[in-house]
A and B are shown apart, each in its own frame.
Chain A
Amino acid sequence: MYQYDQIDRNFVDERVAQFRDQIARRLSGELTEEEFRPLRLTNGLYLQLHAYMLRIAIPYGTLNSRQLETLAEIARKYDRGYGHFTTRQNLQLNWIRLDQAGDALADLADADMHALQTSGNCIRNVTADHWAGVAPDEVADPRVYAELIRQWSSLHPEFSYLPRKFKIAVTGSPADRAATRVHDIGLVLKRDDAGQIGFEVIVGGGLGRTPMIGKTIRDFLPEAQLLPYLEAILRVYNLAGRRDNMYKARIKILVHEIGTEEMSRRVEAEFAKNIDSVLANVQDEVARIASYFTKLPYGPSDPNPESYALRRKSDPAFRRWVISNTFPHKIAGYCIAEISLKPTGGIPGDATSAQMIAVAALARQYSHDELRVTHTQNLVLPHVKMSDLPAIYDVLAAQKLDAPNVNKVGDIIACPGLDYCALANARSIPVAQRISERFADVDRAHDLGEVKIKISGCINACGHHHVGHIGLLGVDKNGEEFYQITLGGSEAADATIGTLLGPAISSDQIVDTVEKILTAYADLRQGNERFLDTYRRLGAKPFKERAYAAA
């Protein structure tokens, strides 16, 4: 993975010194809260319902063991001994003191990390496919370009006061595990007929109050032109994006209002003026970054070693975990092991410091010192020998990290909701907990197969409910918590915004209703259809009838 050089290290150190000075000037009253706000937001410091929250960047979801240990220590030292992994591959600490924020950032910088641009109206921490570099279907490694974008966008002088936040995601695979079509800019790596690397450029996707699927404005952008092209998009947006209404300020609204063709025309016109900029001359830098992502020294590994095969035969719990939580690796004899942070009845995405330290040790011993964070709020050991799976599983089980539910009904995304968030209408986390308890039976959950449930506590849609196979949105009905249900959403390559099923359901009834919908699916499915496939084949009607049928 990428290693900081002296330039990178100086940068994060200088950034910490700058922010310490800004905090001191805030505490002395020299800076008003209004003046300080964007400064702290670009340093990841966000004011929540009860306290400051620090959102730490895990660029493109990749980190090493030492970095995860550092996160665990920071959570222990400055917070309550746990952290929350987010849908943007970040880590949030919910109880940070302003006067300690500088120290926390200094500890991060010591491990080559930062909290830069995880909040605020700037180019946010870039995300990428969590299987980058190991997925069998990969065209090229998105981390190389994500790192290039991370550096280019860090304290970009022109784009630090945009109309609104700006999120970029990169995927190296046609399967799109980075949700590129619901980002401000989505980049899909591909090759042209001559075998050259480039990108499909998608603009104007997003969720929130006005969910939109992004539009392709360039089918193939040659690799070398990536940064000048991104500058062109950002410049068009910075000048023309709406600033009169924060709910209409994202680039998706601009694209929607002027149309995809006009957006494309403006970007291409701006790009034509910048095409010769030095930013188009980054081949050496791309090669330098790529040298950190070269193939690891994978030793030979038996695809079906005896220790693994025996355990699989004798231990049904292990077998179920392997089936749901491990995935094919591009090298035979290896697999990708996903660690679910969704234990039955737990808070989705939470991990204690002790759990983080245990997982860091696993990565060091069994996964070339490397880990990933998924946008579904789980962790990944990306390079695991089949023969090591039993040992890994035993450690995970001891840490209560063995939930065999990746992509299953219990693998729920939930926003912080009313438990933490000042904007919420309703709670999200307790609903996720109750649903996972209802479907605690592993055989039943495995029988239901892939189901992606996503829950948001208000229309800002931080829980991405629009793209859940089943999406739940908290609404307020005369002071009571109700939930609207949308079905049929997807954030994958077939990105779709879900459709509202009918009237909102009370908090008391919501888990029963989800169960009715999934029972209907189990009755109606054909062959190997997933829930989403059955819904797409039959439409909302049968699900609606069952969901709203009197008990």
Chain B
Amino acid sequence: MLQPDRIYAAKSDETLTNLILKGGVEIPDRFTRITGDEPIMEGPVIVDLGRLDAAIGANHPLGVALANTDDVSVLAPYLARLDVVVLHFPKFTDGRAYSQARILRQQFGYRGEIRATGQVLPDQLAFMHRCGFDAFVLAKGDPVTAWDRAMTTFSRHYQPASDTSVPAFIRRRENAK
């Protein structure tokens, strides 16, 4: 999984200092995060929920950042045109964004990127991944090591979630056939 060339190439490039963990490797983030009332520049941007209407016609690709108190269903009319939804963990013990991600995947069928920001720690990566997150800005630790650990610790899960693993009860049913 490790692709050192890409990582080092990205790290050595002054203009691409932001890396995100995606697909098990660190890649440069092509999006620019627009916060507050900063002008919305051209190109790939991530805006706050309040400025989504302003950006939706002009920018592509486009992402939106939600607070963990926002109701994700307000995104319903926009989802087909969104490339990234950023969900936030203000503290790693505040688990609201897990449910936000699952609603996006399970109820709205959203297939774009769901990115975790905030206090994103290695020991919660597996839960995030299973809830539908597929991009991570880690607050601590080596992202690739953390990813490998998160993906290999358990060989099977008990409950279905928003990943592709086959839960125990379905595996048992198949085994019994």
Interface residues of A (CB under 8 A from B): 5, 7-8, 10-11, 14-15, 17-18, 21-22, 30-31, 35, 38-39, 121, 151-162, 235, 238-239, 243, 273-274, 277-279, 282, 284-285, 288
User: Which residues of A lie under 8 Å from residue B1 when comparing CB positions?
Assistant: none
Known: A15-B154, A35-B121. 6 other contacts (CB 8 A): A7-B156, A14-B154, A18-B154, A22-B123, A158-B127, A239-B100
User: Which residues of B lie under 8 Å from residue A22 when comparing CB positions?
Assistant: 123
User: Which residues of A lie under 8 Å from residue B153 when comparing CB positions?
Assistant: 14, 17-18
A275 to B32, CA, bound (A): 39
User: Which residues of B lie under 8 Å from residue A235 when comparing CB positions?
Assistant: 99, 102-103
B67 nearest CB across to chain A (Å): 12
User: Which residues of B lie under 8 Å from residue A11 when comparing CB positions?
Assistant: 154, 156, 158, 168
| Residue-wise interface mask of B (159-177) relative to A, using a CB-CB cutoff of 8 A (1 in contact, 0 not) | 1110000011111110010
In the complex, chain B residues 75-127 whose Cβ is within 8 Å of any chain A Cβ? 92-96, 98-100, 102-103, 106-107, 121, 123-124, 126-127
Counting CB contacts under 8 A, is B155 at the interface? yes
B22 nearest CB across to chain A (Å): 19
A314 to B134, CA, bound (A): 74
- A/B pair count, beta carbons within 8 Å: 106
Is B172 a contact of A288 with CB atoms below 8 Å? yes
Among residues of B, the one whose C-beta sits closest to the C-beta of A39 is B123
Is B127 a contact of A157 with CB atoms below 8 Å? yes
Is A161 a contact of B123 with CB atoms below 8 Å? no
Is A285 a contact of B173 with CB atoms below 8 Å? yes
Q: Which single member of B99, B141, B158 contacts A151 (CB below 8 Å)?
A: B158
Among residues of A, the one whose C-beta sits closest to the C-beta of B119 is A35
A273 to B124, CA, bound (A): 27
User: Which residues of A lie under 8 Å from residue B170 when comparing CB positions?
Assistant: 278
Knowing A7-B156, A14-B155, A157-B130, the reply to whether A285 touches B95 (Cβ < 8 A) is: no
Is B94 a contact of A161 with CB atoms below 8 Å? yes
Chief secondary structure at chain B's binding surface:
helix
Sample (16) of A-B pairs whose CB atoms are under 8 Å apart: A8-B168, A11-B168, A14-B155, A18-B153, A22-B123, A152-B158, A155-B127, A157-B131, A158-B95, A161-B98, A238-B95, A274-B106, A277-B160, A278-B170, A284-B176, A288-B172
Counting CB contacts under 8 A, is B157 at the interface? yes
Knowing A7-B156, A7-B171, A285-B173, the reply to whether A238 touches B92 (Cβ < 8 A) is: no
A155 to B99, CA, bound (A): 15
Q: Which single member of A238, A273, A282 contacts B99 (CB below 8 Å)?
A: A238
Chief secondary structure at chain A's binding surface:
helix
A436 nearest CB across to chain B (Å): 41
Is A38 a contact of B93 with CB atoms below 8 Å? yes
Is B169 a contact of A273 with CB atoms below 8 Å? no
Closest 6 CB pairs of A and B: A161-B95, A157-B130, A285-B169, A157-B127, A151-B158, A158-B98
Is B127 a contact of A238 with CB atoms below 8 Å? no
Knowing A151-B158, A156-B159, the reply to whether A121 touches B172 (Cβ < 8 A) is: no
A243 to B127, CA, bound (A): 20
A159 to B124, CA, bound (A): 12
Is A152 a contact of B159 with CB atoms below 8 Å? yes
A120 to B154, CA, bound (A): 21
Knowing A39-B123, A284-B173, the reply to whether A238 touches B96 (Cβ < 8 A) is: yes
- Of listed B99, B107, B173, residue having the most chain A CB within 10 A: B99
Knowing A7-B172, A35-B123, A278-B170, the reply to whether A239 touches B155 (Cβ < 8 A) is: no
Is B99 a contact of A10 with CB atoms below 8 Å? no
Among residues of B, the one whose C-beta sits closest to the C-beta of A158 is B98
A515 to B23, CA, bound (A): 69
Is B92 a contact of A161 with CB atoms below 8 Å? yes
User: Which residues of B lie under 8 Å from residue A161 when comparing CB positions?
Assistant: 92-95, 98, 124, 127
A38 nearest CB across to chain B (Å): 6
A160 to B92, CA, bound (A): 11
A225 to B58, CA, bound (A): 45
A11 nearest CB across to chain B (Å): 7
A35 to B102, CA, bound (A): 24
User: Which residues of A lie under 8 Å from residue B168 when comparing CB positions?
Assistant: 7-8, 11, 151
A143 nearest CB across to chain B (Å): 17
A274 to B121, CA, bound (A): 29
User: Which residues of B lie under 8 Å from residue A39 when comparing CB positions?
Assistant: 123
Is A155 a contact of B154 with CB atoms below 8 Å? yes
A233 nearest CB across to chain B (Å): 12
B40 nearest CB across to chain A (Å): 29
A18 to B156, CA, bound (A): 14
Is A157 a contact of B98 with CB atoms below 8 Å? yes
Is A160 a contact of B95 with CB atoms below 8 Å? yes
A146 to B137, CA, bound (A): 38
A151 to B169, CA, bound (A): 9
In the complex, chain B residues 9-59 whose Cβ is within 8 Å of any chain A Cβ? none
Is A158 a contact of B172 with CB atoms below 8 Å? no
A35 to B89, CA, bound (A): 14
A152 to B157, CA, bound (A): 9
Is B93 a contact of A121 with CB atoms below 8 Å? yes
Is B92 a contact of A35 with CB atoms below 8 Å? yes
Is A243 a contact of B94 with CB atoms below 8 Å? yes
A21 to B126, CA, bound (A): 15
- Of listed B157, B158, B171, residue having the most chain A CB within 10 A: B158
User: Which residues of B lie under 8 Å from residue A35 when comparing CB positions?
Assistant: 92, 121, 123
User: Which residues of A lie under 8 Å from residue B123 when comparing CB positions?
Assistant: 22, 31, 35, 39
Is B126 a contact of A278 with CB atoms below 8 Å? no
User: Which residues of A lie under 8 Å from residue B128 when comparing CB positions?
Assistant: 157
A153 nearest CB across to chain B (Å): 8
User: Which residues of A lie under 8 Å from residue B155 when comparing CB positions?
Assistant: 10, 14
A546 nearest CB across to chain B (Å): 49
User: Which residues of A lie under 8 Å from residue B167 when comparing CB positions?
Assistant: 278
